[in-house]
Amino acid sequence: MQLDVFTLVPHAYAWLTEQRPVATVLGSELDLRLFSYRDTTPLRSGQVDDEPYGGGAGMVLRVDVVAAALDTVYGGRPGHRVVALTPQGRQLTQELVEELAPEERLTVLSARYEGFDERIVEHLCTDALSIGPYVLSNGDLPAMVLVDALARRLPGALAAGSGEVESFSPELEGRLEYPQYTRPAEFRGWRVPDVLLSGDHAVVERWRKEHVR
Ligand SMILES: C[S@@+](CC[C@H](N)C(=O)[O-])C[C@H]1O[C@@H](n2cnc3c(N)ncnc32)[C@H](O)[C@@H]1O
């Protein structure tokens, strides 16, 4: 997957690219490209946003700035999905992650302050996506959430077996994973369920099925 993120802070993604599973698939299944709106803005002094028409607080990301960024990178409107990150978007679920993961190319637009000029979402994007019903200060944490969620669905991202049976997966019928435990078997009188210590694989499987939430 070629995943292009447009942002004002490309350097903020350094941490993400060092972490698994993103680090594991970078350069093979994942080509993550980071673009700064400032590098291609047609305005002077790296300006990218402006005061809202009608008045009010904050600054709004300009449509000409985003159009210039897309034109520079794609030579026009990209022929693939372009996702605006905004609290007004479709809420991100595992189902939506599975829908996006097979895309060969995906572009993600992050904003800040008051967000996008609505014409960006309307005319330059195919999708608007929210990571939840709350407001964050910018779209970079949402972009990183999306990159991580997509990266772990790419081939080779996870150790064999660890990505199939997990919360929201078809194997668990879209439900939440059973409780997991590790050593010590008892801590402050809190005991791991005996069945998990039994070594009986079939019994453990039955217990896990019963404890899917
Ligand atoms: C402070 S927010 C803008 C909030 C906007 N004025 C509103 O009332 O909905 C700035 C930017 O952060 C990003 N953002 C904030 N919360 C988000 C969320 N829940 N999901 C996705 N992106 C979000 C978006 O890119 C947004 O344009």
Residue range 84-96, pLDDT digits in tens:
999 999 999 999 9
From 87, 99, 97, 212, select the one nearest 137 (Cα to Cα): 87
Give me the pLDDT at residue 33, please: 98
pLDDT band at 179 (very low <50, low <70, confident <90, very high): very high
Give me the pLDDT at residue 88, please: 98
Please state, in angstroms and rounded to a whole number, the distance separating the CA atoms of residues 141 and 144: 5
Give me the pLDDT at residue 143, please: 98
Give the Cα-Cα-Cα angle 179, 91, 141 (nearest 5 degrees): 80
- The stretch 168-196 carries a mean pLDDT of 96
Give me the pLDDT at residue 160, please: 81
- Ligand 1 pocket test: which of 85, 112, 134 has the largest number of ligand atoms within 8 Å of its C-beta? 85
- The stretch 114-133 carries a mean pLDDT of 98
Take atom 6 of ligand 1 and give the residue whose Cα is closest. Answer: 114
Phi, psi for 109 (deg, rounded to 5): -110, 125
Take atom 13 of ligand 1 and give the residue whose Cα is closest. Answer: 139
Give me the pLDDT at residue 150, please: 97
Take atom 12 of ligand 1 and give the residue whose Cα is closest. Answer: 138
- The stretch 150-156 carries a mean pLDDT of 95
Give me the pLDDT at residue 125, please: 98
Answer yes or no: is pLDDT of 167 > 80: yes
Q: What Rg do the C-alpha atoms of the chain give, in angstroms?
A: 21
Tokens of 52: 């809202």
Bridge partners (DSSP) listed for residue 60:
50
Please state, in angstroms and rounded to a whole number, the distance separating the CA atoms of residues 173 and 11: 39
Answer yes or no: is pLDDT of 161 > 80: no
Q: Which atom of ligand 1 is closest in space to residue 110's alpha carbon?
A: 25
Residue range 17-34, pLDDT digits in tens:
999 999 999 999 999 999
Residue range 30-47, pLDDT digits in tens:
999 999 999 999 999 999
Of the chain, the percentage scoring pLDDT greater than 70 comes to 100
CB-defined site of ligand 1, < 6 Å: 85-88, 110-116, 130-132, 134-139, 142
Determine contact, residues 1/153, Cβ cutoff 8 Å. Answer: no
The per-residue pLDDT of the chain, averaged, comes to: 96
